[in-house]
Structure 1
Amino acid sequence: MVSVRTTRVAEQMKKEIAAIIEHQVKDPRIGFITITNVELSNDLRHAKIFFSSLGNEEQQKKSLEGLENAKGFIRKEIAQRIQLRYAPEILFRIDNSIEHGVKISQILSKIKSTEEAEKEQQNES
């Protein structure tokens, strides 16, 4: 069960990490990314940070490399901005849920147009 405190800290981390990446991390490998979710362990010592990135798979991997390279700096900044006993270990993960949702939407649109075409053919005969 996730506590209210864990949820609040995760949301605060999400905002702070997004601001740190946008304003302070100057790695050219990091493209336009969005922090989509932060999952914290109950003891607040480990954080999985999910991000989505514009571009193809290669550009996403470059963004991941850039974030991995800046992990120590981001962790230090989080420790300064959020008053926690321990600065959580950070693990970055690519979030493909947006792309997955777009793909599902395209499939559903294709099915709908196929069904409409079949109905029109039935009405004509």
Structure 2
Amino acid sequence: MARHRHHEGAGPSQRQLRVGELIRRTLSDVLNRGDIHDPELNAMSITVGEVQTSPDLKVAVAYVLPLGGQGREEALEALRRNKHELRRAVSKAVTLKYSPELRFRIDETFDRLDDTRRLFSEEKVRRDVEAPDE
């Protein structure tokens, strides 16, 4: 009998993490190689930062960011327009009972990293950080 984790607050299972990483790697490879038959998508350089899967592995959310953070809406539009072809590429590479539905979101973690870097570069903050303990 399989044990299911139903309690709230439980993070993703090892299987979800493993499958998410496989899908992330596959999407990255497919986008880097320009395997999709869409010149507009192939002209973009898109980073796939993370892929999170639902517990049943039927939905995979890919967190992406175009190079330099420019053209976010265009990148999302191009990915969504090609999601069936991307899904086929994923299902060829990742053996699952069901090919997951792909959803795309902008990866905001890069923005937060930039904000943090900017914060640390401010003179007052740098002085506080570098100040020896009194």
TM-score of the superposed pair, with normalisation by structure 1:
0.81
Divergent runs of 4+, >4 A: none
TM-aligned CA deviation for residue 55 of structure 1: 3.6
Indicate the residue corresponding to 1:72 in structure 2: 84
| Structure 1 unaligned blocks of 5 or more | 120-125
Indicate the residue corresponding to 2:31 in structure 1: 21
Counterpart CA distance in 1 for 2:14 and 2:125 is: 42
Structure (1 or 2) with the larger CA radius of gyration: 1
- Share of identical aligned residues, percent? 24
| Structure 2 unaligned blocks of 5 or more | 1-9
8 A Cα contact 1:54 1:60, kept in partner = no
Please say if 1:54 is aligned against 2:64. no
Indicate the residue corresponding to 2:5 in structure 1: none
Counterpart CA distance in 1 for 2:62 and 2:52 is: 7
Q: Deviations over 1:57-103 (max 9, x none)?
A: 5x111111111111000101111111110000110001121122112
TM-score of the superposed pair, with normalisation by structure 2:
0.76
8 A Cα contact 1:27 1:66, kept in partner = no
TM-aligned CA deviation for residue 56 of structure 1: 5.0
Please say if 1:4 is aligned against 2:14. yes
More helix by share: 1
Corresponding residue SS for 2:49: strand
How many residue pairs get aligned? The number is 115
Higher mean displacement: 77-86 or 36-45: 77-86
Counterpart CA distance in 2 for 1:96 and 1:51 is: 9
RMSD across aligned C-alpha pairs, in angstroms?
A: 2.0
Indicate the residue corresponding to 2:119 in structure 1: 107
Counterpart CA distance in 2 for 1:31 and 1:22 is: 9
